[in-house]
Chains A and B, each alone.
Chain A
Amino acid sequence: MFGFGESDQRELLQAAFRYAFSLTHHQYDAEDLVQSAWLKLLSMKAKIPPKNLLFVTIHHLFFDDLRRRKIVSFCALDEEEASACQTAELAFSDDVAALLSELRPEERETLFLHEVEGYTASEISRVTGQPRGTVLSLMHRARERLLKLAQNEAKRVWHE
């Protein structure tokens, strides 16, 4: 990815930050995560990394850190108790932020990569290292849960 202009590099960093934010759901943690991944790749290659490599590095750094801190719990895909899997810190008070905080990091990650970045299930699979079938299940489940949470929230507001 030689020949990247500075504006391209800035956009790459912003995309990486948004991806990191989808994992951490926290502004400062996402900033630190992008910085760690960026510096790690630069120390290895000393040149601008491709977007996919940057995303993969962010993914590994995030989940490795979670495992080290034993914060992450590996929920079964059919588990309905979202609260038991919740790991991210609530950082925003608006509706979407609150709804997303109910999701597990891997669910937010999958949703982000598909809905915001436009990645296919196969492309998400290459970033996360999970089988394509697992990615499709995660994507479907996350979407359903988010819509359900939104409907519940709408009902609650309506009754109030």
Chain B
Amino acid sequence: MNNQHELRRALKSFYCARSLPKARVDFLLQAKTRMAQSARPWLTIPVVQIAALTAAIVIFLLVADHEEHQRAIERAVCAEVVMNHMKHSPLEIISSHYSEVQAALSRLDFSIMPANSTILETYRLMGARYCSIQGVPAAQLRVQDIRSGKESTLYAAKAVGKLQAVAPTVGSMDGIRVEVWRQDNVLFALAERID
């Protein structure tokens, strides 16, 4: 070891002959894996399960929101129908024939005559006027129960806009019974006082 070159060679040879035992190396490399996992425990949760859970929650929220939205519109339609019925506004067309009323309400491009034979047999048409339900132009028909003489209000509107979401239903509000049904693309609603 009499010159710097030999010194370097001797030192390299000496230190390169030293090594960390394989068992210790393996332990340290495994420790790295363990610590990485414990530092990010969420990685141990299967991604598929997280995705499935997230999708389920999103679908549930969408369905719940859609159903809530639909119920809100139905409540609004019923409230409007009940309010119009109670106002008992004067009729614009007086007739007991659907064809005459249909012709008079020329701005409406759909049939205002219910196909339900029970309605036709139970109620007699008295007349009609224009109105609107949730902003959609509608016909407000006044009908009379043939047997009891009680007056009711029948509405017909094209199932567009917000009315598209309204499903057939029966309910009551402020002592008024409301029945809603669909006939092709026309929404009908019948409001009558509960005795």
Contacts and interface: CB of A to CB of B under 8 A. Distances in A.
Interface of A: 6, 9-10, 13-14, 16-18, 21-22, 27, 30-31, 34-35, 38-39, 42-43, 46-48, 94, 96-97, 99-100, 111-112, 115-116, 143, 146-147, 150-151, 154
Interface stretch (B29-37, B55-63, B165-173): B29-37
B31 A115 contact: no
Main SS at interface, chain B: helix
A46 B31 CA distance: 10
Contacts of B11: 96, 111-112, 115-116
B10 interface: yes
Interface stretch (B19-27, B69-77, B81-89, B185-193): B19-27
17 contacts: A10-B25, A14-B19, A17-B18, A31-B21, A34-B20, A35-B24, A38-B28, A38-B32, A46-B39, A47-B32, A47-B36, A96-B11, A99-B1, A115-B11, A146-B1, A150-B2, A150-B7
Q: How large is the interface on B (under 10, 10 to 19, 20 to 34, 35 or more residues)?
A: 20 to 34
B49 interface: no
B35 A43 contact: yes
A142 to B, nearest CB: 10
B15 interface: yes
Given A115-B8, A143-B4, A13 B14 contact: no
Contacts of B36: 42, 46-47
A21 B25 contact: no
A17 B19 contact: yes
Contacts of B21: 31
Contact of A13 (B3, B25, B40): B25
Given A18-B18, A151-B2, A6 B8 contact: no
B28 A21 contact: no
Nearest to B11: A115
Nearest 7 pairs between A and B by C-beta?
A150-B1, A17-B20, A46-B39, A96-B14, A42-B35, A115-B8, A115-B11
B12 interface: yes
Contact of B31 (A21, A22, A27, A39): A39
Contacts of B2: 147, 150-151, 154
Contact of B12 (A14, A16, A115): A115
A10 to B, nearest CB: 6
B15 A9 contact: no
Contact of A147 (B7, B18, B31): B7
Interface string B110-145: 000000000000000000000000000000000000
Nearest to B35: A42
Given A13-B20, A14-B19, 17 more contacts: A9-B29, A13-B25, A14-B20, A17-B18, A34-B20, A34-B24, A34-B28, A35-B28, A39-B28, A47-B32, A48-B32, A96-B14, A97-B14, A115-B7, A116-B15, A147-B1, A154-B1
B16 interface: yes
A35 B32 CA distance: 11
A154 B2 CA distance: 10
A31 B20 contact: yes
A154 B27 CA distance: 42
A48 B29 CA distance: 9
